[in-house]
Amino acid sequence: MLRLGIAGIGVIAGDYIGLIAGGRVQGVELTALCSRNEEHIQAVSERYGLQAAAFTDYGEMLSSGAVDAVLICTPHGQHPSMARRALEAGLHVLVEKPVGIFADEVEELLDVLHSRSGLICGVLYNRRASQAYRYVHDLVQGGALGELVRATWIITDLYRTDAYYASGSWRGTWQGEGGGLLMTQASHQLDLMQWVCGMPTSVLARCSTVERDIRVENEAELFLTYPNGAHGHFLASAHECPGTNLLEVCMTRGRVSIRNDSEVEVLQLEEDERVFARTCPSSFGKVPGTAKTLTFDHSDNKVQQAATIENFARAVRSETDIQCSLEEGLRSLQIIHGAYLSHWLERTVPLPPPEDLFRSHLAQLS
């Protein structure tokens, strides 16, 4: 049984506490809670009937001997330093997404992890536990559909009202969140896109703020280039209503698409399009193929959250690989940084982007 402590007892931590206390996460025992507000800890403990130790000092929790691992749910900018302290204390770490605000801090954290043999550090991108996206990931990465030609994701159903941004002084600010739509709501989809399609080599982006009194973007358009020359498009919005959620991955031997995180359509070509184009005698011939449709249950996001925490516990016990490693969490952050830098510079930016240039531009906004 993995003894877990949670640092930062906000809304998202409340979801995780409820899942663990409700028995929906196997192999995990909640043994400690850490928050600057002791009354808040007491209220949460009473709500869920917890016997977890309460700490208002993070360092005391780390050295208490009460936990084997820490789940960090504090504001974005605190993630790398708190994860580093936990690793240095010999504890396993699961960090809420995004892994941080600055990539160089995450790179330093990665060095610490590499120096601590046997410790696990993962990032809580729970959408990777989705059966639909796991199916598509295995299909694409397994090579059944050939090589990547194009990937397009229209994710414009991330709607947020003024009340959302007013719910916390840190929301909708560069200083509080390190970004807007790309760093928060659409971070999951960008992570899934790089997990399924691989890491792009460059990005050209445009970000904008539409109809909301915030300083960060709530709309973004990314044009991505991949190592083999394939292109990707990522269109995201938190102001459009009704929105669309459609990922389409076109490859040399077929196409796979996911609509609304659940409806998967696979078109499998009988031969590689490149071979067909060279050998087909007809000017307008098309590669024959077969199609199939699968539907996955995506009704409860908490199923994925529970599965992600359980995966972390199993990875600690060396029973499986971590669902999203620190390295992969860093890559997602680098894509976000590259998009912001591209927008600010109004040009294509290589990935990973120069972190010093990103820092200097972000400092002007903060």
228 by Cβ neighbours in 10 Å (0-12 / 13-18 / 19+) ranks as: exposed
In terms of domains, do 82 and 95 share one? yes
Which residue segment(s) compose the domain that 99 sits in? 2-127+303-323
Q: Tell me the pairing of strands 202-208 and 69-72.
A: unpaired
In terms of domains, do 174 and 287 share one? yes
The domain that holds 170 is classified in CATH as 3.30.360.10
Residue type present at position 124: L
In terms of domains, do 215 and 347 share one? yes
In terms of domains, do 164 and 264 share one? yes
In terms of domains, do 80 and 24 share one? yes
Helix (H) or strand (E) holding 264: strand 263-269
Query: What CA–CA distance (Å, rounded) separates 176 from 184?
Result: 11
What's the domain count of the chain?
2
In terms of domains, do 142 and 103 share one? no
Tell me the pLDDT of the chain (366 aa) as tens digits. 999 999 999 889 999 999 999 999 999 999 999 999 888 899 999 999 999 999 999 999 999 999 999 999 999 999 999 999 999 999 999 999 999 999 999 999 999 999 999 999 999 999 999 999 999 999 999 999 999 999 999 999 999 999 999 988 888 888 888 899 999 999 999 999 999 999 999 999 999 999 999 999 999 999 999 999 999 999 999 999 999 999 999 999 999 999 999 999 999 999 999 999 999 999 999 999 999 999 998 767 899 999 999 999 999 999 999 999 999 999 999 999 999 999 999 999 999 999 999 999 999 987
In terms of domains, do 307 and 293 share one? no
In terms of domains, do 116 and 238 share one? no
The answer to whether position 315 is within a domain reads yes
The domain that holds 314 is classified in CATH as 3.40.50.720
In terms of domains, do 179 and 97 share one? no
Q: Tell me the pairing of strands 92-96 and 121-124.
A: parallel
In terms of domains, do 39 and 15 share one? yes
In terms of domains, do 43 and 138 share one? no
The answer to whether position 365 is within a domain reads no
